[in-house]
Chain A
């Protein structure tokens, strides 16, 4: 039988081809490139969707499950490899739904590589792709619902941050200070992701991630210079999308945190234990709550809105990567 890892890899290849066609489309506006781009993106989503099903069967095997009604308990989202696959898959899927609704394909060339980097990082960072049996703490009815809602929240946050970065390309008055902020935040993000995998030699990885962030900023700057922003929606629409994805993310994060509390009640003996992961999810929630209030009273918009959006995403990244791998706690098994 075909292995889940092969399907995930096939999906990544499809995403890469889709990314090429999205880029060709962005510059040539040719309709065949546009159709091929969307087609390959969907192909990748379908391949990886099938990958999750196969993965579920593999996990049921290693967990020695015979009861098929309990199948959902062994949802394939329980280690770093699986959860990054889920992250990439959800991000592309959400993007494709946005594309279908708004009939705008300009963001494909940003979102697809973001998902692809997430998924490829499993190989660069050396996460074990084998299907592993579940430790007793993860054998729960709540696993599937908690992880899926949380991940929709994370993916929505990623979309909002992606748009926030694109926003600085779109604006005419992006200053050196704005670029510095873009650089610093991406530096942080890259550093967390890389360092969380090795947990040693911080100065070296600070240097490597600084280089990667610089390249990223240079790429953004290049895109701005070649006039990519022509194909973006208006500034107002971009602000609207940022805010709406944060709102969607906030709702799903809230539900995810609450489902996590319900699970904790049955697994750990209390709905809240101030475990670092719990605390960081609360911090993210508080940051986004402040964001929504600031938008409500001060009409937070423009560059400050984009800054705030990126800060929210930083908090998400730390909740997702940093806490799992850097700070020990009840969630560390997710490694």
Chain B
């Protein structure tokens, strides 16, 4: 049973199947718009189709149980495959047969032989030197009066390129997992001069309270002469314990980073509401950009989302204990905030621009970068660096005559290796071959 499961997960066929299945199912998410509001789907597809799409997870493919299962299977497949194959590859790579018995040269794709006028010792040393010049690791595998066997190889690590790539992929997947569990992305709308520490998620009632505040000092849009926007610039300050600790002008492609949290220039909009808040301690007026929540009590927030100037109605979202309710209020009328001792009224509105910041915390990013680097290094090794091996046998043929047999294999393309052996042979020929230009290719 265990053996069956193990064989199933260690097959490369499964890998091909998973890769292609992921490829095909990923297409779905580029045809159906993802993570939209239910109303939007209902309008586009109707009740029945929407229910089917929802059931299949097609409205959020990349977070659906089956897509994540496919990724998990791929990760398991990668690990089991590597565990199964690595020892074999290790044996092949690190423990080759190093001697070069007679006749063996016939089995190699590249091999030559030559007779040289020198002693066994001279040829041996010259050959070792020539191979070392080509950056080979050389060792004498066997040596006696009659014969010397030499083994040389280089770039043995190239055999493991594929495993480096796979390792990189696993690290990237791990980074993605950490992003999914510990990271978040939300937004913050700040009108000039307003301060907040509340980050709203893009949909739903989730609000994160940052341990510090952000103030927008200034928001500017630059234009090209044609009227096309050239730059969006927000001048932001980080405020911690009532003091400004950091200040930066951000623009698209140049975010602010503080304590692992990034603030990106993402959008902009129009509208700042002024709210009068009354409680036992007195009353105060605060300005807040549309879409940005203010905190009115524990787990209690209010957002102004729209203004209907004609009917004099203000659209709000009220969030308490993780539940969001939409509603409408009238200006200058005080409303009691449930669960608190506060009264609230909207007393003014200004159509000023506010900056839209995207706020992201993502502890997985660095892991993804490490994994990506490992992957690129692995790919370059796997595809572009050849592992080469050379065997040579020197046979003594009487006094001061040596017959050399030499051959090799390369893990990628044999032209390069043939060229190298040619050059090594050239060195030997120019040294010991003055009288015997005899050379027989096998």
Interface, chain A (partner B; CB < 8 A): 62-64, 133, 135-137, 139-141, 247-248, 250-251, 254-255, 258, 261-263, 265-272, 274, 276, 279-280, 282-283, 286-287, 289-290, 293-294, 296-297, 315, 323, 327
Chain A residue at minimal CB-CB distance from B222:
A136
Residue in B22, B30, B253 whose beta carbon sits within 8 Å of that of A267 in the complex: B253
A269 x B252 contact (CB < 8 A): no
**Contacting A266 at CB < 8 Å: which of B16, B255, B375?**
B255
Tell me, in angstroms, the Cα distance from A136 to B13 when the chains sit together.
Answer: 45
Taken residue by residue from 353 to 391, chain B's Cβ proximity to chain A (1 for < 8 Å, 0 otherwise) reads as 000001110100100110010011001100110000000
Chain A nearest CB, measured from B185 CB (Å): 6
* B194 lies within 8 A of chain A by Cβ: no
Taking the closest CB of chain A, its distance from the CB of B22, in whole angstroms, is: 5
A271-B16 in contact (CB<8A): no
Q: What's the count of A-B pairs with C-beta under 8 Å?
A: 114
| B358 in contact with A268 (CB, 8 Å) | yes
Decide: B12 and A296 in contact? CB cutoff 8 A. yes
Measured between beta carbons, the chain A residues less than 8 angstroms from B358 are 268-269
A142 nearest CB neighbor, chain B only: B253
Chain A hits for B62, CB < 8 A: 274, 279
Interface pair A286/B379, CB less than 8 Å apart: no
- B232-253: contact bitstring with A at CB < 8 Å (1 yes, 0 no)? 1000000000000000000111
Bound together, the chains give a CA A135 to CA B253 distance in angstroms of 11
Which one of A136, A268, A289 lies within 8 Å of B19 (CB-CB)?
A289
**Shortest distance between the CB of A145 and any CB in chain B (Å):** 13
Given contacts A136-B232, A327-B30, contact A270 B362 (CB under 8 A): yes
CB-CB < 8 A to A315: which residues of B? Answer: 23
Given contact pairs A266-B255, A270-B362, A293-B12, A323 touches B30 in the complex (Cβ within 8 A): yes
Q: Please judge, given known A-B contacts A261-B372, A269-B360, whether A279 and B229 are in contact too, CB under 8 Å.
A: no
CB pair A255 B376 closer than 8 Å: yes
Q: A200: shortest Cβ distance to chain B, in Å?
A: 19
| Residue B224 lies at the interface, judged by CB distance under 8 Å to chain A | yes
Closest partner residue, chain B, to A240 (CB atom): B413
A136-B230, A139-B252 known; A293 and B15 CB under 8 Å? yes
Q: Which residue from chain A places its CB closest to the CB of B263 in the assembled complex?
A: A269
With beta carbons under 8 angstroms apart, the residue of A137, A141, A271 that contacts B252 is A137
Checking B23, B226, B252, B359 against A136 with a beta-carbon cut-off of 8 angstroms, the contacting residue is: B252
The total of chain B residues at the interface (CB under 8 A) is 49
Shortest beta-carbon contacts, A-B, top 10: A286-B23, A136-B252, A290-B19, A269-B358, A276-B30, A269-B360, A297-B12, A258-B372, A140-B253, A269-B264
With contacts A133-B230, A136-B252, A261-B368 taken as known, whether A251 is within 8 angstroms of B26 at the C-beta atoms is: no
Chain B residues contacting A276 (CB-CB under 8 Å) are: 30
* Docked CA distance A78–B433 (Å): 62
Smallest CB–CB gap between A254 and chain B, Å? 6
Partner of B226, one of A133, A280, A287: A133
Known: A266-B253, A293-B19. 11 other contacts (CB 8 A): A62-B224, A137-B253, A139-B253, A251-B376, A258-B376, A269-B359, A269-B360, A270-B183, A290-B23, A297-B16, A327-B30
Say if the beta carbon of B52 comes within 8 Å of chain A. no
Provide the bound-state CA to CA distance between A125 and B381, in Å. Answer: 42
Contact B29 A135 (CB under 8 A): no
Residue of A nearest to B231 (CB): A136
Q: Once the chains are docked, how many angstroms separate the CA of A261 from the CA of B365?
A: 10
Answer yes or no: B176 CB below 8 A from chain A CBs. yes
Q: Are A280 and B266 in contact (CB under 8 A)?
A: no
Q: Which of B20, B362, B375 has most A Cβ within 10 Å?
A: B20
Interface centre among A136, A283, A287 (most CB of B within 10 A): A136
